[in-house]
Amino acid sequence: MRWRKGALPVPPSNRSCSNGGAAGLRPRRAGTVLGVSADPQQRAVEVRRSARRRRTVSAYREGDRTVVLIPARMSEAEEQRWVGVMLDKLAAQESKRTLGDAELTERAERLSEQYFGGRARPRSVRWVTNQNTRWGSCTPAEGSIRLSHRLQGMPEYVVDYVLLHELAHLLVPGHGPRFWELLDAYPRTERARGYLEGVVAAERLPKVPAAREE
């Protein structure tokens, strides 16, 4: 899927920003540079620098890799930051198709198999619309997991983290050291938590009043 229409301008104030999590890319010259993210769940990333590109960054999927197009003048720190931004944008774009409850259950089963050796076995996994103060919940006695509808449209790695969080509760009820040891198996735990914390912080910001018409 191409994401050219979503090209983002590069604000001048961001010229010294550091990367939010796309490690392993160290371009030395303009042109094509291949790199693989430190996250094994991500595809290979190819960064293409262009002297013609002045103020925009864009990205799209090409086979089994992600291509990120950036201005040639961009520093390594800028590049790493924008690669992270564009990967998140692509992931959010791709996850807009809402998974049904059956698909959500299948996804939970695959995650349990991959990270917990299949030991967490939910009887039901479904979306709910009555959880506005938490992202998910679990009732171990019933084997039921519920995810807030507010997660719909967020990057897949964030939804996967919440699913794994609730799956872990089928094995460990509380939030003690053993619980967090289970989640350490997921390589994007910290990034997903940071994403959700950012969403919560943004929701708490005061609303800007609309401009009054003259």
Answer with the residue of higher pLDDT: 202 or 64.
202
For tokens 């010294």, the residue is 16
Distance CA 125, CA 104 (A): 6
pLDDT tens-place string over residues 163-190: 999 999 999 988 999 999 999 999 999 9
Question: CA-to-CA distance for 85 and 22, rounded, in angstroms?
Answer: 9
Decide if pLDDT at 213 tops 60.
Answer: no
Tell me, what's the pLDDT at 146?
Answer: 96
Give the H/E segment covering residue 198. Answer: helix 189-203
What's residue 42's pLDDT? 52
pLDDT at residue 95, as a whole number: 60
- Which tokens sit at 20? 């939010």
Percentage with pLDDT > 70 across the chain: 72
**Model confidence at 158: pLDDT above 70:** yes
Averaged pLDDT score across all residues of the chain: 77
Region 13-42 average pLDDT: 35
pLDDT reading at 153 higher than 90: no
3-state secondary structure of 125: strand
Contact yes or no for 95/154 (Cβ under 8 A)? yes
Read off the pLDDT of residues 121-141 as tens digits, 9 standing for 90 and up.
999 999 999 988 899 999 999
Interior angle at CA 203, CA 200 and CA 208, nearest 5: 155
Residue 42 half-sphere exposure, CB side, CA atoms within 13 Å? Answer: 25
Q: Is the pLDDT of residue 74 over 50?
A: yes
Under the banding of pLDDT at 50, 70 and 90, the label for residue 2 is very low
pLDDT of 53 higher than 80: yes
Band of pLDDT at residue 55, cut at 50, 70 and 90: confident
In the DSSP assignment, the letter for residue 45 is E
pLDDT at position 208: 52
